Amino acid sequence: MRQRGITGAPATIRDVARQAQVSVATVSRALSSPNLVREETRERVLNAAAELGYQPNRAARGLITGRTGNLGIVVPDLDNPFFTGVLKAVQAAAVQADYSVFVADSDEDPVVEEKLVRTMAQQVDGLIVCSPGLSDAPLLEVAAKSSLVLLNRVLPDVPAALMNAANGIEQLVAHLAELGHERVAFLSGPDTSWSNTQRRNGLRAAAPKHGLTVTELGPYPPRYEGGVAAAEDVLGAEVTATIAYNDVMALGVLARLREEGVRVPEDMSLTGFDDLVFAGLCDPAMTTVAMPVREAGRLAVELLLAGPGEDDAPVRQEWLDTKLVVRATTAPPR
Amino acid sequence: MRQRGITGAPATIRDVARQAQVSVATVSRALSSPNLVREETRERVLNAAAELGYQPNRAARGLITGRTGNLGIVVPDLDNPFFTGVLKAVQAAAVQADYSVFVADSDEDPVVEEKLVRTMAQQVDGLIVCSPGLSDAPLLEVAAKSSLVLLNRVLPDVPAALMNAANGIEQLVAHLAELGHERVAFLSGPDTSWSNTQRRNGLRAAAPKHGLTVTELGPYPPRYEGGVAAAEDVLGAEVTATIAYNDVMALGVLARLREEGVRVPEDMSLTGFDDLVFAGLCDPAMTTVAMPVREAGRLAVELLLAGPGEDDAPVRQEWLDTKLVVRATTAPPR
DNA sequence: TTGAAAGCGCTAACAC
DNA sequence: GTGTTAGCGCTTTCAA
């Protein structure tokens, strides 16, 4: 993949050493610990390296240092903007710290997920796992051997970047109560998902405080079609507002409701979670809870790079706030 | 990142060799070229490896074979579903072939893009580049030294996976003409973008055949805000239909037009490009040209893995068809 | 401040 | 079929 002049073979540290009239050890030092070589020597080495277009071979370096210079991230679905938002932040933070990033997409399949996590763990210095489907045991096992950070999932002694849906939900419930709603539906996502549990529990806790009664429906697939299916159930539920597990699902509900002649928000208020771009672009624009996707990605990388810390330091599981975004799908009930 | 029993150190090929009572060479063979060892021996090795949880060190293997087992992809924006669609397909195809994939996001900055391409080229066996902004010279330079495939961009002697916008445009123009439109606007994306040029030229070629007059407006940033800005110009252009550079931009146009009290499609037909999910979810649902994102990703990996082929074999630059998707933003002019 | 040399874990000749 | 051994390109003792 690299080349030295006409020969076609990439320049190695020996080529640089020869060109600069020094030993390979000196070249290595000039590049990795500049303060260990005389200024003039370093300059000679740097020039030689530049002339030959020398790039240290990362595999060789990794072999000896034990570090790869890579981070990894496993996500369930690259088509979901929520995860690509995290990915974008992760990759930006990684580049900043001179790491490269591997991605793997499990397509929401727990079996594939486990395989990907295991495979990846051995090629990276740290791994970020966003996998609602994977069970605890394999995750804990990998975490014991590798440097791993969980995103939106809590496991004992595993560092994690967490989005605190509870405070967004608190705001959401207050908002609906203030509009005058009393009976709302919650459209559940996958049972196994930590996020779904967190949202459901947050709702259960917040609703009574504001005099709201919650009807839990589902679970439904956390996708557009899931929302379409859920819309049927909503119509039979005698509620004036519907809280969908996420934005994509809410969009499905919106479409189906419209087909049924149910107007949003006049006949039914509707909200989502995530605040994906198109939540602001659909019509009517969606009231939703914004998740700190960017910050979470950045935080995950930070936790990874910070390493385990002192032996007795507590494992870092850090919470990020979420926030209600009021748009046009919520209004007073009729 | 790996571990052997209590010691904490990962098992190496020597540990396996000892455990299986064979030489390291035999272990290596049993794992990489099973047909070179006796069945019984192989089994012993495999058992030992499993017992120790042995995973070959890829850096060491790469050092000697010269191959990394990694592919890379550089995209301008992971927030754009067009690129994550490609990424998703790339990663699926890569895993299939037992490769891992690196991603890098240049944030549409040509300088960053060049740096990423160069850095990545040396850590992978093949690189997929989707970068509208990067100029030809550095790409050709990297292509000369590395195995590189271009996505939606043509450069001499560089393999490429290309989406043939022309046939989607042909259908689009025919559709508009059939509805009775005679004057249409084209909202241009970035001047430097190969895709934009291709779309613009396709339109210039197809329009006369169907009696359409095209007014070219822009360039505008290929984002939502770009569309919002463009909408102003559209209103002054005396056209009955507007063809936006892409879906995201079309969405901006749609929103602004609505604010102005211009109804789509009654007062103005509107189309996009890409057929992103939300093109089907917005209201009214967008008529657009679907790009074969999945197929292109798969093809790019295929081209990479196929390698350069015979010395005199022509470089493969393969075209994929695009297709008009008629939804609700197009109608006869008033 | 520099050089010589010993490996990191693995594969690929080359012998047997 | 299997073992011995020489490196792949680099970092890091240890001496000088």
What is the distance between the alpha carbons of residues B229 and A283, in angstroms, rounded to a whole number? 20
CA separation, residue A90 to residues A79, A102, A124, B103 (Å): 17, 10, 14, 11
CATH number of the CATH domain containing B222: 3.40.50.2300
A170 shares a domain with A104: no
B233 shares a domain with B121: no
Q: What letter would DSSP give residue B57?
A: -
Q: What letter would DSSP give residue A10?
A: P
CB contact under 8 A, B116 and A102: no
A97 touches chain B (CB under 8 A): no
What is the distance between the alpha carbons of residues A211 and A213, in angstroms, rounded to a whole number? 7
Q: What letter would DSSP give residue B284?
A: S
The answer to whether the C-beta of B97 is closer than 7 A to strand D is no
Length of chain B: 334
Q: What letter would DSSP give residue A34?
A: G
What is the distance between the alpha carbons of residues A19 and B49, in angstroms, rounded to a whole number? 44
Tell me the CA end-to-end span of chain B in Å, nearest whole number: 67
A113: in domain = yes
Phi and psi torsions of B156, nearest 5°: -55, 135
CB contact under 8 A, B79 and A78: no
Residue at which a domain ends, from B65, B84, B109: B65
What is the distance between the alpha carbons of residues A119 and B262, in angstroms, rounded to a whole number? 54
- At A308 the pLDDT is 77
B121 touches chain A (CB under 8 A): yes
A284 shares a domain with A249: yes
- At B2 the pLDDT is 40
Query: Which of A160-164, B1-5, B24-28, B132-136 shows the lowest mean pLDDT across its residues?
Result: B1-5
- Closest residue on chain A to B58 (Cα): A123
Structure tokens at A173: 């419930």
Chain B residues with CB under 8 Å of A100 CB are 102, 104, 119-120, 123
Bond before B284 cis per omega within 30 degrees:
yes
Domain of A148?
Answer: 70-163+293-320
Of B256, B255, B273, the closest CA to residue B189 belongs to B273
Stretch A132-155: mean pLDDT: 91
Stretch B198-207: mean pLDDT: 96
Chain A residues with CB under 8 Å of B145 CB are 1-3
Interface of A with B in 41-70 (CB under 8 A): 55, 57-60, 62-63, 68, 70
What is the distance between the alpha carbons of residues B103 and B96, in angstroms, rounded to a whole number? 17
Chain A closest-CA separation from residue B307 CA (Å): 13
In B9-99, DSSP assigns E strands to 70-75
B211: in domain = yes
pLDDT for B192 beyond 70 = yes
Residue A184 DSSP SS3:
strand
- At A226 the pLDDT is 94
Phi and psi torsions of B275, nearest 5°: 60, 50
If you count DSSP H runs as helices and E runs as strands, how many of each does chain B have, helices first? 13, 12
Its sign, for the CA torsion B246, B249, B251, B257, is negative
A334: in domain = no
A158 shares a domain with A173: no
What is the distance between the alpha carbons of residues B299 and B301, in angstroms, rounded to a whole number? 5
The answer to whether the C-beta of A36 is closer than 7 A to strand C is yes
A172 shares a domain with A233: yes
B173 shares a domain with B28: no
What is the distance between the alpha carbons of residues B194 and B202, in angstroms, rounded to a whole number? 12
In DSSP terms, which residues pair with A215 in a beta bridge? Answer: A185
CA separation, residue A244 to residues A128, A194, B43, B84, B286 (Å): 27, 16, 53, 25, 24
A121 touches chain B (CB under 8 A): yes
Stretch B86-110: mean pLDDT: 94
Length of chain A: 334
A267: in domain = yes
The strand C neighbours among B residues 58-97, by Cβ under 7 Å, are: 60-61, 63-65
pLDDT for B16 beyond 70 = yes
- At B8 the pLDDT is 66
CB contact under 8 A, A91 and B84: no
pLDDT for B310 beyond 90 = no
- How many Å separate Cα A260 from the centre of its chain? 35
- At A2 the pLDDT is 40
Buried b (16+ CB within 10 A) or exposed e, A225-255: ebbbbbbebbbebebbbbbbbbbbbbbbbbb
B26 shares a domain with B140: no
CB contact under 8 A, A88 and B78: yes
DSSP output for B219-239 = ---SSHHHHHHHHHHHHTS--
CATH number of the CATH domain containing A53: 1.10.260.40
B170 shares a domain with B274: yes
Counting residues of chain A whose pLDDT is more than 70, the rounded percentage is 97
Reported as a single tens digit per residue, the pLDDT across B168-178 is 999 999 999 99
What is the Rg, in whole angstroms, of the alpha carbon atoms belonging to chain A? 26
Question: What count of other Cβ atoms lies within 10 Å of the Cβ of residue B266?
Answer: 12
Binning pLDDT at 50, 70 and 90, where does residue A8 land? low
B283 shares a domain with B171: yes
Residue A219 DSSP SS3:
coil
Chain B residues with CB under 8 Å of A251 CB are 281
pLDDT for B196 beyond 60 = yes
Q: Token pair 């004057």 is at which residue?
A: B183
A280 shares a domain with A201: yes
Counting residues of chain B whose pLDDT is more than 70, the rounded percentage is 98
Reported as a single tens digit per residue, the pLDDT across A193-238 is 899 999 999 999 999 999 999 999 989 998 889 999 999 999 999 9
A192: in domain = yes
**Count of the separate structural domains present in chain A:** 3
Stretch B256-275: mean pLDDT: 96
Structure tokens at A135: 């069970």
Q: How many CA atoms lie within 13 A of A147 on its CB side?
A: 20
Predicted TM-score of the model (pTM): 0.90
A326: in domain = no
Stretch B178-189: mean pLDDT: 97
A234 shares a domain with A307: no
B9 touches chain A (CB under 8 A): no
Reported as a single tens digit per residue, the pLDDT across A242-284 is 999 999 999 999 999 999 999 999 999 999 999 998 898 888 9
B123: in domain = yes
Q: What letter would DSSP give residue B326?
A: -
Give the CA angle between residues B226, B231, B237 to the nearest 5°. Answer: 125
The answer to whether the C-beta of B147 is closer than 7 A to strand C is no
What type of residue is B236?
Answer: G
pLDDT for B202 beyond 90 = yes
What type of residue is B191?
Answer: D
B4: in domain = no
A49 shares a domain with A129: no
Give the CA angle between residues B15, B18, B20 to the nearest 5°. Answer: 105
Stretch B34-39: mean pLDDT: 92
Identify, with chain letter, the residue nearest to nucleotide D9 (CA–C1').
A60
A250 touches chain B (CB under 8 A): no
Of A209, A202, A256, A208, the closest CA to residue A233 belongs to A256
- At A6 the pLDDT is 45
pLDDT for A4 beyond 70 = no
The strand C neighbours among A residues 188-217, by Cβ under 7 Å, are: none
Its sign, for the CA torsion A274, A276, A280, A285, is negative
The strand D neighbours among A residues 26-85, by Cβ under 7 Å, are: 27-29, 31-33, 54-57, 60-61, 63-65
What is the distance between the alpha carbons of residues B167 and B274, in angstroms, rounded to a whole number? 13
Residue at which a domain ends, from B23, B39, B65: B65
Residue B196 DSSP SS3:
helix
Bases of chain D within 7 A of a CB of the protein: 1-5, 7-13
